[in-house]
Structure 1
Amino acid sequence: MADLPEVGVLLDAAVRALGGARRSGQVDMAEAVDAAVATEEHLVVQAGTGTGKSLGYLVPAVRHAMAHDTTVVVSTATLALQRQLIERDLPRLAAALAPLLPREPTFAILKGRRNYLCRHRLQSASDSEPDEAELFDPRALSSLGRQVKRLHEWAEETVTGDRDDLAPGVSDLAWRQVSVAANECIGAAACPFGGECFAEQARAEAGGVDVVVTNHALLAIDAMQGRHILPEHRVLMVDEAHELVDRVTSVATGALTERLVSTAAKRAARICDPEYTERLGEAAEGLGLMLTDGEPGRLDHLPDALAGAVAAVRDAAHGCVSALAPENKEDPEAVSARRRAQAALTEVHDTAVRVLESFEPPLRERRDVVWITKAPQYPPGLHVAPLAVGGLLRERLFGDRTTVLTSATLALGGSFGTLAMQWGLGRQSGDAAEAPTAPPPAAAEGAESGTAEAAAVSAAETGTAAETGAAGEPRWRALDVGSPFDHARSGILYVARHLPPPGRDGLDQRYLDEIAGLIEAAGGRALGLFSSMRAAGQAAEELRERLDVPILCQGDDSTGRLVEEFAADERCCLFGTLSLWQGVDVPGPSLQLVIVDRIPFPRPDDPLTSARQRAVGAQGGNGFMAVAATHAALLLAQGTGRLLRSMSDRGVVAVLDPRLATARYSSFLRASLPPYWGTTDPEVARAALRRLDAAAREPVEAGA
Structure 2
Amino acid sequence: MPDSLLPPVEELLKAAVSALGGSERPGQVSMARAVQHAIDKEEHLAVQAGTGTGKSLAYLVPSIRHAMGSDTTVVISTATIALQRQLVDRDLPRLAETMAKELPHEPSFAILKGRRNYLCRYKVTAGWPDDDEGDQLFDPREVSATGRMVQRIQEWAETTETGDRDELVPGVNEQAWRQFSVSAKECLGGQRCPSAGECFAELAKERAGEVDVVVTNHALLAIDAMEGMAILPEHDVVVVDEAHELVDRVTSVVTDELSENSVFLAVRRVARLIDQPISDRLQEAGEDLKALLAAAPSGRIDELPQVLGLTLALVRDSAHACITALGSRNADKDDPEKGGQRKMAFAALDEVHDTAVRMLDAYGHDSEVDRAEVVWLEAGTDRRPPILRVAPLGVGGMLRDKLFGDRTVVLTSATLALGGTFDGLAKQWGLADGEWEGLDVGSPFDHPRAGILYVAKHLPQPGRDGLPEAYLDEIAELIGAAGGRTLGLFSSMRAAKAATEALRERIDVPLLCQGDDSTMLLVKQFAEDEPTCLFGTLSLWQGVDVPGPSLRLVIIDRVPFPRPDDPLTSARQRHVAARGGNGFMAVAANHAALLLAQGVGRLLRSQDDKGVVAVLDPRLATARYSGFLLNSLPPFWRTTDPAVPRAALKRLAGD
| TM bucket, shorter chain | over 0.9
Q: Deviations over 1:567-597 (max 9, x none)?
A: 0000111110000000000000000100000
- The answer as to 2:507 corresponding to 1:547 is yes
Residue 609 of structure 2 aligns with an amino acid whose one-letter code is D
Other-structure match for 1:403: 409
Other-structure match for 2:585: 625
Give the C-alpha shift of residue 30 in structure 1.
0.3
Q: Deviations over 1:232-252 (max 9, x none)?
A: 000000000000000000001
Residue 366 of structure 2 aligns with an amino acid whose one-letter code is P
> RMSD value over aligned CA atoms?
1.0
Q: 1:375 aligned to 370, 376, 380, which one? A: 380
Q: Deviations over 1:118-164 (max 9, x none)?
A: 11122344x62542142133443332222111100111222211111
Give the C-alpha shift of residue 682 in structure 1.
1.0
Other-structure match for 1:228: 230
Q: Distance in 2 between matches of 1:558 and 1:136?
A: 26
Other-structure match for 1:128: 129
Other-structure match for 1:442: none
Residue 374 of structure 1 aligns with an amino acid whose one-letter code is A
Other-structure match for 2:483: 523
Q: Distance in 2 between matches of 1:311 and 1:64?
A: 51
- When normalised by structure 2's length, the TM-score is 0.98
The 5-angstrom pairing of residues 226-625 of structure 1 reads 226-326=228-328, 327-364=331-368, 365-377=370-382, 378-427=384-433, 429=434, 475-625=435-585
Tell me, yes or no, if the aligned pair for 1:46 and 1:409 is still in contact at 8 Å.
yes
Other-structure match for 1:659: 619
Q: 2:603 aligned to 643, 647, 651, which one? A: 643
Q: 2:107 aligned to 105, 108, 111, which one? A: 105
Q: 1:146 aligned to 145, 148, 166, which one? A: 148
Q: Distance in 2 between matches of 1:160 and 1:593?
A: 43
The 5-angstrom pairing of residues 129-208 of structure 1 reads 130-137=131-138, 138-208=140-210
Q: Distance in 2 between matches of 1:179 and 1:557?
A: 28
Tell me, yes or no, if the aligned pair for 1:131 and 1:177 is still in contact at 8 Å.
no
Q: Distance in 2 between matches of 1:24 and 1:136?
A: 59
Tell me, yes or no, if the aligned pair for 1:297 and 1:371 is still in contact at 8 Å.
yes
Q: Distance in 2 between matches of 1:6 and 1:401?
A: 22
**1:557 match: secondary structure:** coil
Give the C-alpha shift of residue 117 in structure 1.
1.0
Tell me, yes or no, if the aligned pair for 1:25 and 1:483 is still in contact at 8 Å.
yes
Q: Distance in 2 between matches of 1:141 and 1:323?
A: 35
Q: Distance in 2 between matches of 1:358 and 1:325?
A: 29
Other-structure match for 1:216: 218
Give the C-alpha shift of residue 381 in structure 1.
1.1
**1:660 match: secondary structure:** helix
Other-structure match for 1:454: none
**1:400 match: secondary structure:** coil
Other-structure match for 2:10: 8
Q: Distance in 1 between matches of 2:278 and 2:446?
A: 68
Q: Distance in 1 between matches of 2:102 and 2:463?
A: 60
Give the C-alpha shift of residue 202 in structure 1.
0.6
Other-structure match for 1:693: 653
Q: Deviations over 1:56-112 (max 9, x none)?
A: 100000000001100000000000001100110000000010001111000000010
Q: Distance in 2 between matches of 1:244 and 1:525?
A: 32
Tell me, yes or no, if the aligned pair for 1:495 and 1:654 is still in contact at 8 Å.
yes
Give the C-alpha shift of residue 212 in structure 1.
0.3
- When normalised by structure 1's length, the TM-score is 0.91
Of the structure 1 ranges 271-280 and 351-360, higher mean CA displacement relative to structure 2 is found in 271-280
Q: What percent identity do the matched residue pairs reach? A: 66
**2:160 match: secondary structure:** coil
Q: Distance in 2 between matches of 1:680 and 1:272?
A: 71
Give the C-alpha shift of residue 653 in structure 1.
0.1
Q: Distance in 1 between matches of 2:154 and 2:115?
A: 18
Other-structure match for 2:594: 634
Give the C-alpha shift of residue 544 in structure 1.
1.0
Unaligned runs of 5+ in 1: 430-474, 696-704
Q: Distance in 2 between matches of 1:130 and 1:518?
A: 53
Aligned residues: 648
